Structure 1
Amino acid sequence: MLMLMLTNPAKAEQCSVSLSQDRVDYGRLHSGELLVEQPGQAELALGKRTLNLSVVCPQPTAMALRFDSPGAGPEAFSLGLHGSFTLGLKQPRLDGQAVELFQGRARSLEQGSRLLPGQTLVARQGGVPIQGRMFTAQVEIETYLPASATRVRDETLIDGRGRFELVPGH
């Protein structure tokens, strides 16, 4: 059984951060089904899930977001001993206009939509950080389990936790 909990998002500068749902439940997974779908793989991909993220602020605010959760290396977040998950932000918009997402305060054009452990994504337009009142994006979650996680005798709960934070001062 696999469940990914996205706890109550943090607030910053009187802004409200919300998700279309606070958990992603993959339900009961049976090892036979997983191994048939991906024979010989060391890591099993459980498919993508999509949620909607919105940030609403009363005053124009720089939109800099991070996901607070333990990392599983530099590219993914941890599901404890049982795997990892990645987060990507798709179709980011600020006050109805498409924006680009850059990692932190980097001045380089290292644009990306992946939220990485310990890093912040900043909304920019033309490479310059911008402010707005309403940020929206689709959150794409990809979950991976090591093949060894399917070798259990009893039902095992696998879960990951984290929350989105609006980071002031970017």
Structure 2
Amino acid sequence: MAILMLASPAKAEQCNVSLSQDRVDYGRLHRGGLQVEQPGKAELALGKRTLNLSVVCPQPTAMALRFDGPGAGPEAFSLGLQGNFTLSLRQPRLDGQAVELFQGRARSLEQASRLLPGQTLVARQGGAPIQGRMFSAQVEIETYLPVTATRVREETLIEGRGRFELVSAH
């Protein structure tokens, strides 16, 4: 199973958006090696993976990031017909200083760092959007498969796609 993530440069700001890897590969999975996330739930957790995201701009820019990929409901991104994955940005820094990330629907700090389908995270300090030239964060990926996805007769590719984009902060 693989999740393909790309970073695309921002058009207006001429910024460079990059990831430490453009692919997260879980390798071959066998049903016996997977654990149910919560008893009674028909979902398997494949574990967390972490990538490094960086944005470098020639001029100070408002850092507003989104992940453009097919959604699997309001809280996760799709792995085609089987499963989903979530994305969180941890330890966000702008020009070397710690910043907060905010999105309109966040109800808690934990939710504030989650990238949701159709939502944008904006770097803020003291509650106000700020600009900078260098942004960095750790991207934490959590992947889930329905138990039924492990009941296959032959090797099956499960894949998700999407890309990080720097967008205009409104």
The match for 1:151 is 151
Distance 2:119 2:36 in 1: 36
* 1:169 shift after superposition: 4.0
1:121-136 aligned within 5 A = 121-136=121-136
Write the letter of the residue equivalent to 2:154.
D
Distance 1:100 1:80 in 2: 32
| Bigger mean CA deviation after superposition, 31-40 or 124-133 | 31-40
The match for 2:137 is 137
Moved segments of 4+, more than 2 Å:
7-12, 35-41, 108-111
Structure 1, unaligned stretches of length 5 or more?
A: none
| Distance of aligned partners of 1:94 and 1:8 in 2 relative to their CA distance in 1, 3 Å threshold | closer
Is the counterpart of residue 16 in structure 1 residue 10 in structure 2? Answer: no
| Distance of aligned partners of 1:77 and 1:36 in 2 relative to their CA distance in 1, 3 Å threshold | closer
Structure 2, unaligned stretches of length 5 or more?
A: none
Q: TM-score, normalised by structure 2?
A: 0.91
**Identical amino acids, percent of aligned pairs:** 79
Write the letter of the residue equivalent to 1:52.
N
**Aligned with 2:155: secondary structure?**
coil
Root mean square deviation of aligned Cα: 2.0
Distance 1:65 1:23 in 2: 19
| Distance of aligned partners of 1:77 and 1:37 in 2 relative to their CA distance in 1, 3 Å threshold | closer
The match for 1:4 is 3
The match for 1:90 is 90
**Aligned with 2:8: secondary structure?**
coil
Structure 1 residues 20-63: Cα deviation after superposition (integer angstroms, max 9, x where no partner): 00000000001122258977540000000000000000000000
The number of residue pairs the alignment matches comes to 167
| Distance of aligned partners of 1:30 and 1:109 in 2 relative to their CA distance in 1, 3 Å threshold | closer
* 1:11 shift after superposition: 2.4
Distance 2:159 2:47 in 1: 16
